[in-house]
A = this chain, B = another copy of it.
Amino acid sequence: MFLGRVIGTVWATRKEERLEGLKLMVVREVDLELRPQARTVIAADVVQAGVGEVVLVSTGSAARQSPLVEKRPVDALIMAVVDNLDFQTPEALEAAYVARRDPLLADLDAQPES
């Protein structure tokens, strides 16, 4: 899945009949800090996401694993609205590792050699 922001809606009258009744949204991929990225997809929506909301998008056959989109020609699905993101930068992970390691090394140094 990837993170995106709903930025619009698509209307189509002439369409494959299995699309009838499906809402199609424009979603711009965003990074973890919610900055817009290059990828834009048109995705079906089963969680009533509104324009401006940050969502999770599933692609491929995963996008049809919901009763509302089963057997429809849909390859991207908004399947969750994101409440919160909690993530660490590689630098933070490294710092946490060092913070755990250094006291252990200090303990080792403090032990008399046997």
Contacts and interface: CB of A to CB of B under 8 A. Distances in A.
Q: Interface size bucket, A side? A: 35 or more
- Copies of this chain assembled into the complex: 5
Contact of A80 (B12, B80, B86): B12
B1 A24 contact: yes
A26 B87 contact: yes
Contacts of A8: 32, 85-88
Nearest to A70: B65
A46 B11 contact: no
A2 B41 CA distance: 6
B93 A7 contact: yes
Interface of A: 1-3, 5, 7-16, 18-19, 24, 26, 28, 31-32, 36, 40-43, 46-48, 51-52, 56, 58-66, 71-77, 79-90, 93, 96-97
